[in-house]
Amino acid sequence: MQKNEAGQADQNLLQSLGAAVEAGRAPKAEEGAREALALGLAPEDVVSCALIPAMGRVGERFRLGEAFVPEMMMSARAMQAALNVLRPLLAARKARSLGTAVIGTVQGDQHDIGKNLVAMMLEGSDFDVVDLGSGVSPQRFVQAVAEAKASVLCLSALLTTTMPQMRATLQTLEEAGLRQNVKVMIGGAPVTQDYADRIGADGYAPDAASAALLAREWMGAAADSGG
């Protein structure tokens, strides 16, 4: 096969894999990831050229009201199916991680659908993810940040009554002397940018795609500044 033809075949396969993720077709996404590896494509290129752009497009449709949580979850699961194929090779090649992200739903709140989507998006965006689950206390968040030397902490709340736990977690980080070491992102249905500003969080994300993009921007800025 000519070099140009091979390049076009690779591009077509990546486009097909991205389309499978967008459509939420997990078996097709898994098959596409295996085909990509069989063709000799680098696993990190498959992630950056197919999986991340596909989820970015799904996130944009979600923001525009053209896609909803079920579609987001199906696409995230399709991405996860592809990642399950790629992960062993990514680890073997010691693909560069952007950092560790700790994530969880705050104490008193058991909702986890949105949090799970963000966790999957972060993993697909080259982060090592420590998912603490739901109902997580400020002390447990801080312990995980310290143990994992996390770069990003993501706090989710779906109830207005549990939102104060976000402020409590930030205060606990301060008391532990760790606040300057980690970027804190908050999100959830009742959460707003104004609330993030008021409690001193570094950022707010309205959806999973935005959360992954913001985290990547933070780490890119850190790398650019030599941090």
Q: Are residues 135 and 210 in the same domain?
A: yes
Instruction: Identify the residue whose tokens are 């909702």.
Output: 111
Name the DSSP letter for residue 123: H
Q: Are residues 87 and 154 in the same domain?
A: no
Which of 209, 9, 217, 220 has the alpha carbon at shortest distance from 118? Answer: 209
Instruction: Identify the residue whose tokens are 């921007």.
Output: 217
Q: Are residues 177 and 226 in the same domain?
A: yes
For residues 216 and 212, what is the distance between their CA atoms, to the nearest angstrom? 6
- The rounded Cα 49 to chain-centroid distance in angstroms is 16
Say what the pTM is.
0.74
Q: Are residues 144 and 87 in the same domain?
A: no
Q: What is the CATH number of the domain that holds 141?
A: 3.40.50.280
Q: Of 95, 120, 135, at which residue does a domain stop?
A: 95
List the pLDDT tens digit at each of the 227 positions of the chain. 444 555 787 899 999 999 999 999 999 999 999 999 999 999 888 988 898 888 888 878 887 889 888 888 899 899 989 989 998 887 776 556 899 999 999 999 998 888 988 998 888 778 999 999 999 999 999 999 999 999 999 999 999 999 999 999 999 999 999 999 999 999 999 999 999 999 999 999 998 878 988 999 999 855 444 44
> Domain containing 46: what range?
1-95
**Sign of the dihedral defined by the CA atoms of residues 200, 206, 212, 81, in that order:** positive
CA distances from 4 to 38, 48, 207 (A): 18, 21, 39
Q: Are residues 119 and 221 in the same domain?
A: yes
**Sign of the dihedral defined by the CA atoms of residues 133, 126, 210, 78, in that order:** negative
Q: What is the CATH number of the domain that holds 80?
A: 1.10.1240.10
Q: Are residues 76 and 115 in the same domain?
A: no
Total count of domains within the chain: 2
Q: Are residues 91 and 109 in the same domain?
A: no
Q: Are residues 89 and 107 in the same domain?
A: no
